[in-house]
């Protein structure tokens, strides 16, 4: 068990579970985009109940690590620095840019899953991250939980907005 997984008391999923988790992430990310697309930029930058973070910030926070996952599979490095999300979101100055940011990352993740779904069930490398080393399956599972958690916040916040 990796040091990070042990420290966080995360269960170690079987590598065969990685294929399921990779596929399971896709509809959540698509749903995220479905919720974003009709929103105006002012709605995307309004503070949510999630520590006052905007949907633009949460979108970067959710989709940037997804962007890093394919490279982590091959380079064995996951250099996610969520404390830099504010910098990343500053470049997204319109609603179309926020949506485009997420769309590109979803397209890349979809391509990766289509190409490597079988490999995910057969190979489970150890990946380095700023928080320590962990198996790719654990990283993937933690990202699914991360997306799911923030997706619930997105849905709740969207329910408070007028149509």
Number of domains in the chain: 1
CA end-to-end span of the chain: 47
pTM score, whole prediction? 0.87
We report the CATH number of the domain holding residue 27 as 1.20.120.450
Distance CA 26, CA 23 (A): 6
**Joined tokens for residue 136:** 């790719």
With H, G, I as helix, E, B as strand and everything else as coil, classify residue 81. Answer: coil
Q: How confident is the model at residue 1 (pLDDT cuts 50, 70, 90)?
A: very low
Residues 85-97 have a mean pLDDT of 95
The SS3 of residue 78 is coil
Range of the domain at 130: 3-8+15-160
> For the residues 39-46, what does the mean pLDDT come to?
96
């Amino acid at each position: 068990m990796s040091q990070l997984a042990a420290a966080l008391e995360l269960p170690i999923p079987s590598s065969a579970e990685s294929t399921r988790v990779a596929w399971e992430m896709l509809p959540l990310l698509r749903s995220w985009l479905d919720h974003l697309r009709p929103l105006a930029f002012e709605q995307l930058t309004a503070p949510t109940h999630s520590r006052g973070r905007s949907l633009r910030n949460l979108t970067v926070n959710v989709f940037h690590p997804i962007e890093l996952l394919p490279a982590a599979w091959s380079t064995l490095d996951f250099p996610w620095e969520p404390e830099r999300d504010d910098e990343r979101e500053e470049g997204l100055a319109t609603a179309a840019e926020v949506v485009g940011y997420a769309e590109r990352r979803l397209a890349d993740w979809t391509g990766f899953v289509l190409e490597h779904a079988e490999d995910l069930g057969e190979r489970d490398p150890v990946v380095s991250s700023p928080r320590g080393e962990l198996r790719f399956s654990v990283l993937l599972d933690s990202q699914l939980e991360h997306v799911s958690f923030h997706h619930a916040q997105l849905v709740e916040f969207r329910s408070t907005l007028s149509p």
